[in-house]
A and B are shown apart, each in its own frame.
Chain A
Amino acid sequence: DAGVIQSPRHEVTEMGQEVTLRCKPISGHNSLFWYRQTMMRGLELLIYFNNNVPIDDSGMPEDRFSAKMPNASFSTLKIQPSEPRDSAVYFCASTWGVGSYEQYFGPGTRLTVT
């Protein structure tokens, strides 16, 4: 199994630009999670999908952040416009069933906004 795939692995952009992060969950998994990791705040859940439907988006920090899951094998996290404080590592994780059991994390996307 290829595991959770994220792209790009690194992204450097200027403040105000749109950023799109991509995730392919493990085949057969029907729950997908987007996390943000920073030194100050640790691992934060941003949004959680089950069967392609957003279940909990209470962690999405602002309207500048949006996430979609058009099908079972693809999800995007978009930041528009980006700000320097959005700099972090963004992880996608997936699992089967409803809930947070045994989440499998991708390698992450390191985002730097200058």
Chain B
Amino acid sequence: GENVEQHPSTLSVQEGDSAVIKCTYSDSASNYFPWYKQELGKGPQLIIDIRSNVGEKKDQRIAVTLNKTAKHFSLHITETQPEDSAVYFCAVYNTGTASKLTFGTGTRLQVTL
């Protein structure tokens, strides 16, 4: 089955700095890569996703890059703010097999003042 590794497990940045979270996956047929943000006491919320025919996607301060050859993708958050503090999960999905969404282990991001 699919194996997803996510790094780092914790990340602390100062407000205004950038944060980068990386994920690698094993199944080269995977073609959908969402990122979820989970705030304390809440369920994960989809914040951005990318499909395998695109190398980069940006939405305001967040962006995701995908390298299909190397089988890794990354979440970039620029100009971080305290409200960005949360746990972030990457996930991987193969639309061809309609297999389950496989989640990474999560990154706890702390934005300090």
- The total of chain A residues at the interface (CB under 8 A) is 20
Q: Give Cα A4 to B43, complex, Å.
A: 10
Q: Determine chain A's interface SS by DSSP, over half rule.
A: loop
- Which of B32, B42, B46, B103 is the one whose CB lies under 8 Å from A43? B103
Q: Does A49 contact B (CB under 8 A)?
A: no
Q: Give Cα A45 to B102, complex, Å.
A: 8
Q: Does A98 contact B (CB under 8 A)?
A: yes
Q: Determine chain B's interface SS by DSSP, over half rule.
A: loop
Count A-B contacts at CB 8 Å: 45
Q: Does A25 contact B (CB under 8 A)?
A: no
Do B98 and A99 have beta carbons less than 8 Å apart?
Answer: yes
Tell me how far the C-beta of B107 lies from the nearest C-beta in chain A, rounded to whole angstroms: 12
**Contact surface of A with B, Cβ cutoff 8 Å:** 4, 42-43, 45, 48, 56, 59, 91, 93, 98-108
Q: Add 19 more A-B contacts to A42-B106, A98-B98, A108-B42 (CB < 8 A).
A: A42-B103, A42-B104, A42-B105, A43-B44, A45-B101, A91-B43, A99-B93, A99-B95, A100-B98, A100-B99, A100-B101, A101-B93, A101-B95, A102-B49, A103-B46, A104-B46, A105-B45, A107-B43, A108-B43
